[in-house]
């Protein structure tokens, strides 16, 4: 086994010695000054990002609720839905609150819910909601039954 290793090493050394190192090559000649080539054609760019198209419509319109003129318009279909949306609006804008008073008002043919709340910092806030769209609607009318299939 030892002889085998010696012969393998000798052959490897002999192979390396028989292959002379390549001669250093001459530096490449100075290239000719570059001519102005037309730029490559521009790749098509991606279209700019578009806003989402299918966002759910907000159930509110109007102002900030600070007065009758700036009332938050609640776009509900029934009174129960409208009251829930009023509470959600207050929480979304002011955080935790406690309802301490409320009432109905009418002006210029419109109906308003006027709610007074105590906020988390113990301040009171009165908020005006325009409820004309669902005022007096306790439930939606049932859809008519579909006609029977033809025979």
Report the pLDDT value the prediction gives residue 7, as an integer from 0 to 100. 47
The answer to whether the CB of 116 falls within 8 A of the CB of 58 is no
Please indicate, yes or no, if residue 9 is contained in any of the structural domains. no
Residue with tokens 């579909």: 146
pTM: 0.58
| pLDDT of amino acid 5 | 45
What is the distance between the alpha carbons of residues 46 and 105, in angstroms, rounded to a whole number? 54
Round to whole Å and give the CA distance between 37 and 34: 8
The answer to whether residue 99 sits within a structural domain is yes
Residue 98 placed within a domain: yes
Beta 72-74 vs 60-62: how paired, if at all?
Answer: antiparallel
Structural domains counted in the chain? 1
Q: Is the Cα torsion angle 59, 76, 89, 105 positive or negative in sign?
A: positive
Domain that holds residue 68: 60-130
β-strand 72-74 against 124-130: which pairing, if any? Answer: parallel
For residue 146, being part of any structural domain is answered with no
**Structure token digits, residue 94:** 């002011």
Q: Residue 90: inside a domain, yes or no?
A: yes
Instruction: Please report where in the chains the tokens 């700019």 appear, as a residue.
Output: 48
| pLDDT score at 147 | 84
In-domain check, residue 34? no
In a domain, 121, yes or no: yes
Per-residue tens of pLDDT for the chain, all 151 residues:
444 444 444 444 455 555 555 555 666 666 655 567 777 766 767 777 666 566 667 899 999 999 999 999 999 999 999 999 999 999 999 999 999 999 999 999 999 999 999 999 999 999 999 999 999 988 877 878 788 888 7
In a domain, residue 66? The reply is yes
């Amino acid at each position: 086994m030892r002889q085998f290793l010696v012969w393998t090493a000798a052959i490897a050394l002999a192979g390396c010695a028989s292959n002379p190192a390549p001669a250093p090559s001459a530096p490449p000649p100075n290239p000719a000054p570059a001519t102005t080539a037309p730029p490559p054609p521009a790749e098509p760019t991606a279209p700019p990002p578009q806003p989402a198209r299918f966002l759910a419509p907000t159930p509110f319109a109007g102002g900030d609720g600070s007065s009758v003129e700036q009332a938050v318009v609640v776009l509900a279909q029934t009174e129960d839905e409208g009251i829930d949306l009023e509470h959600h609006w207050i929480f979304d804008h002011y955080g935790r609150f406690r309802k301490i008073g409320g009432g109905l008002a009418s002006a210029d043919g419109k109906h308003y819910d006027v709610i007074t709340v105590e906020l988390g910092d113990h301040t009171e806030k009165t908020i005006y909601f325009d409820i004309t769209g669902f005022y007096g609607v306790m439930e939606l009318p049932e859809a008519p039954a579909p006609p029977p299939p033809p025979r």
